[in-house]
Amino acid sequence: MLRLTFGGAMRSLILIILASALITAGVAQQQPQSGAKTQQPCSEPQQRQLDFWIGSWDLTWPGNTPGEVAHGTNNIARILDGCVVQENFSGGDAMPLRGLSVSLFNTRSGKWQQTWVDNEGAYLDFIGEFKDGQMTLAREATKPDGSKLLQRMVYKNLTPTEFDWSWESSSDGGKSWKVVWPIHYHRKS
């Protein structure tokens, strides 16, 4: 059985009133003053650096045999009030790979970040920037033997209707890069 004395009950009531006042004051501080301008989230100019990628795309890349061309699709859209760029990739008939990524510009770091997941159980995280007319997102990976490998995606030769993307790797700390998978993007009509 719980027994409260008048003094104990009064202290509890005072603490509740003080906690409520502090919470209310904190909420009031977070609300914009009437007439004050508030900046829209994700309105920095850098947020538009991936706009070239937004849309529906037909993809081509070298097939498994010389002269063969493989085909896939990729659909890219802005979601979550325009703050996130979402990718939906399909390898089509050429390969069973299906995946998606979400990308955003992190204002704290001043860098782009992307997370990729797919139907083969991969989880990859990248960080990068738009510089000299191309977007480069990179990561460090660990091979099964424990050695380090750098991986990157490069979006280049950008035009309104097409561009090139390449998956590249470096085993010498980024001194040299090998193109592992080149893809040409062509915007669907």
Q: In whole angstroms, what is the distance from residue 92 CA to residue 160 CA?
A: 24
Range of the domain at 2: 1-33
Domain count, the chain: 2
Residues 51, 21 share a domain: no
Alpha carbon dihedral 110, 51, 58, 86, in 10-degree steps, equals 60
- Cα Rg of the chain (Å, integer): 25
Q: Identify the helix (H) or strand (E) that includes residue 20.
A: helix 6-30
Q: What is the pLDDT of residue 189?
A: 76
Confirm whether 38 is domain-assigned: no
Residues 132, 54 share a domain: yes
Confirm whether 89 is domain-assigned: yes
Residues 132, 95 share a domain: yes
Q: What is the pLDDT of residue 37?
A: 52
Residues 124, 63 share a domain: yes
Residues 86, 156 share a domain: yes
Looking up residue 119, the CATH number of its domain turns out to be 2.40.128.20
Query: Phi and psi (nearest 5°) for 47?
Result: -60, -20
Evaluate whether 134 touches 122 at the Cβ level (below 8 Å). no
Residues 104, 163 share a domain: yes
Confirm whether 39 is domain-assigned: no
Q: What is the pLDDT of residue 13?
A: 41
Confirm whether 181 is domain-assigned: yes
Residues 20, 100 share a domain: no
Q: In whole angstroms, what is the distance from residue 171 CA to residue 155 CA?
A: 21
Residues 27, 111 share a domain: no
Q: In whole angstroms, what is the distance from residue 105 CA to residue 127 CA?
A: 10
pLDDT tens digits, the chain, 189 residues: what are they? 444 444 554 454 444 444 444 444 444 444 445 554 566 789 889 999 999 999 999 999 999 889 999 999 999 999 999 999 999 999 999 999 999 999 999 999 999 999 999 999 999 999 999 999 999 999 999 989 999 999 999 999 999 999 999 999 999 999 999 999 999 999 997
Confirm whether 153 is domain-assigned: yes
